Structure 1
Amino acid sequence: MPPKKSIKKRCRRRLGARSYKNYSEEMLLLAVDFVRNKNATSYDAEKQFGIPRRTIENRVKNIHSDKPGPRFRLSPEEENKFVKVLIAAGDYGCPLSQLDLKLAVYDYLKKNNKTYVFNNKLPGDWWVKNFLERHKDQLTLRSTQNITKARAEKCLEEFKEYFENLEMSLQNIPPTNIMNYDETNVSDDPGSTKCIFRRGIKYPERIVNHSKGCISIMFAATADGQLLPPYVVFKSDNLWTAWCTDGPEGTRYNRSKSGWFDSVVFLDWFINIVIPWANHLEGQKLVIGDNLSSHLNPDVIELCEAHQIRFVFLPSRSTHLTQPLDVAFFGPLKKSWRKILLQYKTDNPKQVSLNKSHFPLLLKQLMEAANMKKQNILSGFRATGIHPYNPYEVYKKLSEYEDDIKYNVDQTLLNYLKENKNPNPIKRRKNTKIKVLPGKSVSSTEISINKTTNTKTKTVTKKNTISNINISKTVTDDDQQKEEASVSKKKANALTLKRKPLKRKKRDDSPDSESTCSVVLCDSSEYDPKDDEDSET
C-alpha cells in the first residue's frame, strides 16, 4: 500500500498579524529629523515613535520619499492656498460650492498660463473629490443654512454690549431660575424622505395628503434642562372641546385670528405658565426671549415686578446665535414631529389635512420624545453662552472676531471671490400703469409707440422781472411747436414778456388785491417801455 502523501494545510493569515501604517506624516518627519540630526539612532527612534526602523532609514536616505502613482495636478503649496481660500470664504459667509472651486482653480491657472494642467478645461468631479479627501482634516461638505443679510450684518460690538448686560443680569441666579422661551410652529407636511424606486424613474412620488396649515406652540425650558408645559394656539375664531382633550398634562390651548401670538395671548401664557413656575422658586428669576412688540405689555411688566422676574431681551435678528431653543432644541424636535406626522398620515389616509381634534394625541407623542432630549436643552444654553456664561461661544461664529487664524491668500483668488460674490443688482425701472381693455394683450413695441404718441400737458412757471408777479402759463406740446414754427430763429432770442393790464373795477377796497396780468409773446423791436408807463398812470 503506497504511503499517503502529506497534504500541507493552507495557512490562513491571522487578522492583525501584519502591522499597517498607524502613524501620521508629521510624526514620521519628526523621527527622521531626530535621526538626521543624530539625536537618536534608528533603533531608538523606532522604540520612541512606534515607526518601523526601515521606514525611518528609507526616508533619511530619500528612498521612496514620494508617494507612488502619478503626480498631483497642483503642487502642495498651491493646494494649501486653495484650502485657505475655502476656509476664509466659509468663515465670511460666502462658502464656495464644488463648481465655484472648479472655476476658482481654472481662473488661477489661466492667470498663471497653466491651463494645460487640465487640458484647457475645468477640473473634473473626481479631482474635486480627491482634493477634499486629501484635506479632509480641514475641509468637508456640509448643507448650508440660509440667513438674511440683516442677520449676517450683526457686528461684534452689538454682541459685546449684550453679553456685558447679560453678565450683570446673571449674577447670583442659579440655572433653575433661568428660563428661555420661544414660539415655533408644526406644519401639516411630513416632508420628503429617500425611498427606493426603479432606476431611471423621472418622477419619484409618494402619495401623502398634506397642506400648508400649521399650529403655533410656545415652548419654554430652563438652564438645568427642565421643559415647561407647552402652550398651543390654533388659527380659529372659536375653541372646541375636542381640540383640548387627551393632550400632554399641563398644556394650555388658545386661539387667535392669525394663528400666532399677540399681546393678549402672550399675557395669558405668562399668567398660566411662567407665574406658576416662578412661584415654586425662591430669589430672582430670569426670563430670556425675543424682543417682539407682542411681548411688551404693561400688565406683563407689573407681574414681573410682583414675582421677582426680570426680562432679558435678545438682540434683534440674532436668534440663530443667541436663542437656546432655536440653536439646539427645535431642530431635533421638528425631526421627531415629521416622523409622528408621517405615521399619522399612513394610519389615516382619508384625512386630507391634520384634524385639530387629533392634534393633542400627536402633541403628547411629541412631548414624550422632547422630554428624552434634555441634553439638547443643556447644549442650547451652552452654545449660546448663557449657562455656563461664555461669550466666546457666540464670538467665534462671527467672521470679524479676531482669531489666531490669519488668512494669507493669493491675490488672484481673492479677486475671484470679489468678482463672483459682489452683488450686481438689476436697476429698477420706472413703472407706469397701462390702460388695456379687458381681454386684450399688449407687446413691448406697442407700449413704446404709446409713449411717443401720447402728449402730456406740462405746466411752466415763469416770473415777471418787471413787477415780480408770478405768471403761470399752460402750454401743450403741440402749441409750443406751432409757436416755434411761427417765430423765426433769428428773433427767437429776442422774445420778451409784455404786460397788458386788464380793466379794473371802479371800487377795489381790498388792499391785498393785485392786477391780473396775461402773457403775450412779442418782438423786442415792437416793444416800447412808454406803453408800460402809460398803463401805470
Structure 2
Amino acid sequence: MAPYIRKSTRQSWDEKNMSNAIAAVNSKKMGWQKAATIYNVPATTLRRRAAKGESSKGYLGGHKTTFTKDLEEQIIKHLQELEVRFFGMTTTDLRRLAYQIAVAKNIPHRFSSENQMAGVDWLRGFRLRNPSISLRIPEATSAARARGFNKVQVQTFFKLLVDVMKQHNFEPQQIWNVDESGYSTVPSQNPKVFATKGRKQVGVLTSAERGHHYTSVCCVNALGSFIPPAFIFPRKNMKAELIDGGPTGAVGFAQEKGWMNGEVFLKWMQHFVKHAKPSKETKALLLLDGHSSHKNLEVLTFAKENHVILFCFPPHCTHKMQPLDISFFGPLNTFYNKELHMWLRNHPGRVVTHLQVAEIFKLA
C-alpha cells in the first residue's frame, strides 16, 4: 500500500499560534479578526476553541493510532533496552509484540488475528512517528558470522555482562546458560566398522534413512548444576509415555513442527523457575541466544515478574561464545549416536521412535 498523501487543508494551522491567539483575545489585547490575521489561524475556529478553552487539534476521522503516545514511548524504550543487551528485535518480532500488547491490554486494533501480528502499514506509521529508532539491513549469515565475531563486538558484550553482574552481585550458582539442539531417531553420523578391503559399499543398520526429529532444551549453571532437560516433540498433543525412562525431572512439550516457539519457551521458563527458584534477593541471570521465541512479550513479562534477567549473546557469535554449543552439545551428540547404535543392536528387528529417545538421551 502506498503512503497516504493528505488532500485536505483542514487543521493546517499551528497549535502554538492558536494558543497565542486565544491568549491575546482573552487578555483583550486585540479582537478576533486581528488575532486570526496576525497568528494565521481561522477566525471561526479561534472563536469556537476560545469558548471551549481548547487549543490543540481535534480528530479528523480515519484510523486512529492503535497505541497512545505514552505507550509507544514505552515500546521504544523497551526496544532500546533489548538492543543494548544484544536482544534487538526484527520487524516481524516488533509486529508480533504490537499484537501481543494490544491483546494483553484489550486495546481495539485492526491487526491480523490469523497471523497474530500487526501489519506493515502499522509498522511504517510507527517508524515515522518515532524517528529515534532505525532499521539496519542484516548481512547474509555466513558473511555476518565472519564479521560479527570481532574484538569490538565481544568486548562490548563482556563489558555489559560485567556491569549487570556487578549490579546484582551474581554468584556462580545464579548464572545459567540455556540452548536448544535438534536430534533425530537416526544417528547423524555412523561409526567406522571393519570390512573387507576393497569393498565399494559398507552399510549399517539404522531405524530409517531420514528418521524423525525432535528438540532438546538443556540449561546448566556456572557450577555445573543443571535443570532437568525438556523435549519438544512434533505433535499436537503431549503424551506422558514419550518421556518414560528419560532423565529425572525431564518434561515434554508438544509443538506441531517440534521446534521452539514463544508459547513453548514460556512453558520452559516456568519449568526453569520451578527448579532454579530465583527470588528478589537471589535473582537468576539467564544467558541465551537471540531467537525470536525468546523475545515473546509473555516470556519477558514472566521473566521480570519472577526475578530472571535475560541476557543475549551478540548476533552471529553463538558458534564461538555459546558455552553449551561449544562444550556440551558436541560430546552429547557423539554419545547419543553411540547409544542409538547400541539400542538397535540390543533390539534386533525394531526401530527407534519418539517413545525411546528420552531413555536413549538419558544414557548418552
Q: TM-score per shorter chain, which class?
A: 0.5 to 0.7
Q: Distance in 2 between matches of 1:285 and 1:203?
A: 53
Among 160, 165, 169, the alignment partner of 2:164 is 169
8 Å CA contact 2:176, 2:221 repeated in 1: yes
8 Å CA contact 1:275, 1:307 repeated in 2: no
8 Å CA contact 1:221, 1:228 repeated in 2: yes
AA aligned opposite 2:144? A
1:181 aligns with 2:175: no
Q: Identical aligned pairs, as a percentage?
A: 26
1:148 aligns with 2:146: no
Q: Distance in 1 between matches of 2:225 and 2:304?
A: 24
AA aligned opposite 2:202? P
Q: Distance in 2 between matches of 1:213 and 1:355?
A: 7
Partner secondary structure for residue 266 of structure 2: helix
Q: Distance in 1 between matches of 2:278 and 2:156?
A: 31
8 Å CA contact 2:230, 2:268 repeated in 1: yes
Per-residue CA deviations over 1:261-300 (Å, capped at 9, x if unaligned) read 1100000000122343134794232110011111112222
1:260 aligns with 2:254: no
Q: Equivalences for 1:61-460 in 2 at 5 Å?
A: 148-154=142-148, 155-171=150-166, 172-190=169-187, 191-210=189-208, 211-279=210-278, 282-352=281-351, 354-366=352-364
Question: Does the C-alpha gap of structure 1 residues 340 and 282 become closer, same or farther in structure 2, counting only changes over 3 Å?
Answer: farther
AA aligned opposite 2:360? L
Per-residue CA deviations over 1:177-223 (Å, capped at 9, x if unaligned) read 00000000222222222211112111122233333322101000001
AA aligned opposite 1:203? Q
AA aligned opposite 1:209? S
8 Å CA contact 1:209, 1:349 repeated in 2: no
Q: Equivalences for 1:14-93 in 2 at 5 Å?
A: none
Question: Does the C-alpha gap of structure 1 residues 282 and 236 become closer, same or farther in structure 2, counting only changes over 3 Å?
Answer: same
Q: Distance in 1 between matches of 2:344 and 2:191?
A: 14
**Cα drift, residue 152 of structure 1:** 1.2
Q: Distance in 2 between matches of 1:232 and 1:276?
A: 16
Q: Distance in 1 between matches of 2:357 and 2:186?
A: 14
Per-residue CA deviations over 1:40-81 (Å, capped at 9, x if unaligned) read xxxxxxxxxxxxxxxxxxxxxxxxxxxxxxxxxxxxxxxxxx
Equivalent in the alignment of 1:512: none
Question: Does the C-alpha gap of structure 1 residues 282 and 337 become closer, same or farther in structure 2, counting only changes over 3 Å?
Answer: farther
TM-score computed with the length of structure 2 as normaliser: 0.57
Q: Distance in 2 between matches of 1:209 and 1:356?
A: 11
Partner secondary structure for residue 229 of structure 1: strand
Question: Does the C-alpha gap of structure 1 residues 228 and 281 become closer, same or farther in structure 2, counting only changes over 3 Å?
Answer: farther
8 Å CA contact 1:175, 1:224 repeated in 2: yes
RMSD: 1.9
AA aligned opposite 2:204? R
8 Å CA contact 2:279, 2:307 repeated in 1: no
**Cα drift, residue 156 of structure 1:** 2.3
Partner secondary structure for residue 228 of structure 1: strand
TM-score computed with the length of structure 1 as normaliser: 0.39
Q: Number of matched residues?
A: 219
Larger Rg: 1
8 Å CA contact 1:177, 1:281 repeated in 2: no
Partner secondary structure for residue 201 of structure 2: coil
Per-residue CA deviations over 1:309-364 (Å, capped at 9, x if unaligned) read 21100111111111010011111111110111001111223234x22222232232
AA aligned opposite 1:153? R
8 Å CA contact 2:273, 2:306 repeated in 1: no
Partner secondary structure for residue 183 of structure 1: strand
**Cα drift, residue 158 of structure 1:** 1.7
Question: Does the C-alpha gap of structure 1 residues 280 and 170 become closer, same or farther in structure 2, counting only changes over 3 Å?
Answer: closer
Question: Does the C-alpha gap of structure 1 residues 209 and 276 become closer, same or farther in structure 2, counting only changes over 3 Å?
Answer: closer
AA aligned opposite 1:325? L
Q: Distance in 2 between matches of 1:274 and 1:291?
A: 20
Extract unaligned runs of 5+ from structure 1.
Answer: 1-146, 367-537
More helix as a share of residues: 2
Per-residue CA deviations over 1:247-270 (Å, capped at 9, x if unaligned) read 222111111011101100000000
Partner secondary structure for residue 159 of structure 2: helix
**Cα drift, residue 240 of structure 1:** 2.3
8 Å CA contact 1:287, 1:309 repeated in 2: yes
**Cα drift, residue 232 of structure 1:** 0.6
Q: Distance in 1 between matches of 2:173 and 2:310?
A: 15
AA aligned opposite 2:206? V
Q: Distance in 1 between matches of 2:348 and 2:207?
A: 7
Partner secondary structure for residue 304 of structure 1: helix
Per-residue CA deviations over 1:121-143 (Å, capped at 9, x if unaligned) read xxxxxxxxxxxxxxxxxxxxxxx
Q: Distance in 2 between matches of 1:300 and 1:208?
A: 39
Partner secondary structure for residue 335 of structure 2: helix
